[in-house]
Amino acid sequence: MRIPAHGLGLVVKVKENNTAIVEVADIGKVELRVQNLTQVSLVITEVDCFKYLGLKLDYALRMEEATKTGVANIRFAHSKLAATLHSLRQQPRRGNNAALSPLMRLQMWRSCVLTLALENLRYLRTKKGQVQQWQAVLSLSLKRTFGHFEQPLPMLLDLGIPPLALQQAKQLCQMHFRYTYGSPSIMLALLYALRVERLLGSPYSQHRILGQARGGPQYLETFRAGAEPGSTLSR
């Protein structure tokens, strides 16, 4: 079948034998060799999400795709940790089996699972329950690692691991301080300052990250007061 010159086409599928199925306007689906795709003016395919610097974003920046990807990555990291722990059980035991001590389990869990959960935590939305989704998967991973299936919050506090909501507030405070302290000249700080100035001049704008960054210190003080003896959280 002869394709008109400069005809518009959309690549539907690429096969393993260096051929592609292209949907050409007014003709339909045509199978072409990859080297012959230059004969067709290809149309750019619109996507609902894309990956930018390792973070999966949706077109409206609702961070839903990032949340789903993060949950899947945490589960995959836990599966690798579980496989490693299983292989360590099969090795000959030496003395008190220090390779499976609670401290070693905690260090392995921190390096494999917790580090991955903290990587893009600052971009999630707290009001949409996205941080809570990560927290639920993270708590389940910790309970399975230690074989402890009681309430996760006391176990996290006993091991010195703050909740993800607290760690997100800390990250946002650090970001706000880094971009506002002194006179930073980097491009990110300038864009952040322009965004803050624009939002402060509009009574209807409520930017999520800026609002959470300004509310970060208040969250830290609330958590600190709740962790004092006699408070509800410390119980």
- Provide the pLDDT for residue 69: 93
pTM of the complete model: 0.65
Over the stretch 69-127, which tens digit does the pLDDT of each residue have?
A: 999 999 999 999 999 888 877 555 555 444 578 888 899 999 999 999 999 998 898 77
Over the stretch 193-207, which tens digit does the pLDDT of each residue have?
A: 887 777 776 554 445
Q: What's the mean pLDDT in 37-47?
A: 58
Whole-number average pLDDT of the chain? 75
pLDDT band (50, 70, 90) for residue 234: very low
Over the stretch 174-188, which tens digit does the pLDDT of each residue have?
A: 888 888 887 777 888
Over the stretch 121-154, which tens digit does the pLDDT of each residue have?
A: 988 987 788 999 999 999 999 999 888 877 888 8
DSSP the chain: -PPPTTEEEEEEEE-TTSEEEEEETTTEEEEEEGGGGGGEEEPPPP-SEEEETTEEEETT---HHHHHHHHHHHHHHHHHHHHHHHHHHTSPP-TTTGGGSHHHHHHHHIIIIIHHHHTTGGGS-TTTTHHHHHHHHHHHHHHHHHT--S-HHHHHHHTT---HHHHHHHHHHHHHHHHHSS---SHHHHHHHHHHHHHHT-TT---HHHHHHHHHHHHHHHHHHHTSTTSTTT-
